[in-house]
Amino acid sequence: MEYDIGSKIKAARLKKKMTQEQVAELLGVSRQTISNWENEKSYPDIISVIKMSDYYEASLDYLLKGEQKMNTYYDYLEESTNVVKSNTNRNKIITILSYMLVWAIAMIAFWFFTSGSDAMGYSLVYLWILLPVTTFIVSFIIGKNDFWAKGKWALTLFFGVMYMLAEYGTFAMANNIAFDKLNAPEWGLVVAGVIISAIGMLMGSLLKKKRCK
């Protein structure tokens, strides 16, 4: 059964005087993908349909409804939506785990593969270069993909706390052991971590908005 969506999205695109290349760039897909959708060789996922509805200023009712019944296509959309959600959740987990992996490896390297002055130099490189850069990049990815929507900003506190714990678990703890005393954590590092993360998320969010215009 023909879904009829291909001819509709093509008509809507032509009405807006947009090329397949322009739409492909906006959606982050290839021009061939747009061509396949319009020729009904394959079908767009629900996220792409919603974006095209916005770009073409065409209602979803127009794109998805018509004289023909489209139950089969709706089933396809439901399935593709579930795939998109699954992929998004997977990417969220991978992003956070990537950060945690860098954090954990750096901590292990400090305690098991460095000593003396090497440990001090390593901790400084770790605290002032590696971890801040990792925090920024991961936060940028979260902002760019709008992971957790508005809730993503709460993660800046998580990154701030992890930044503080990184210092306390390496350089500070080594000093505590060397001088047989217990110093309080540097709470100011929480603020530093929050700021680094917030800047990354903000830049990622701004890039996402710019690409969507």
Top-confidence residue, 121 or 70: 121
Task: Please give the mean pLDDT across all residues of the chain.
Answer: 86
Question: What token pair was written down for 88?
Answer: 């998004």
Whole-number Cα distances in Å, 58 to 19, 39, 74: 16, 19, 18
Task: Measure the CA–CA gap between 131 and 125, rounded to whole angstroms.
Answer: 9
**pLDDT higher than threshold 60 for residue 1:** no
Work out the angle between the directed axes of helices 20-27 and 46-56 (0-180°, nearest 10).
Answer: 130
107-116 residue pLDDT tens = 898 888 877 6
The mean per-residue pLDDT over the stretch 39-49 comes to: 86
**Domains of the chain by start residue, with CATH:** 5-69 (1.10.260.40), 88-212 (no CATH)
Q: How confident is the model at residue 62, as a pLDDT? A: 79
Question: How far is Cα 3 from Cα 64, in angstroms, rounded to an integer?
Answer: 9
Task: Give the Cα-Cα-Cα angle 30, 53, 5 (nearest 5 degrees).
Answer: 75
User: Tokens 């590696």 label which residue?
Assistant: 130
**Lowest mean pLDDT, pick from 109-123, 149-163, 183-197:** 109-123
What pLDDT does 63 receive? Answer: 80
- Structure tokens, 134: 């990792």
**Out of 13-27, 71-85, 191-205, least confident range:** 71-85
Query: Is 196 within 8 Å of 132 (Cβ atoms)?
Result: yes
Q: Among 60-69, 111-120, 176-185, which stretch is predicted with the lowest mean pLDDT? A: 60-69
pLDDT for 2 equals 45
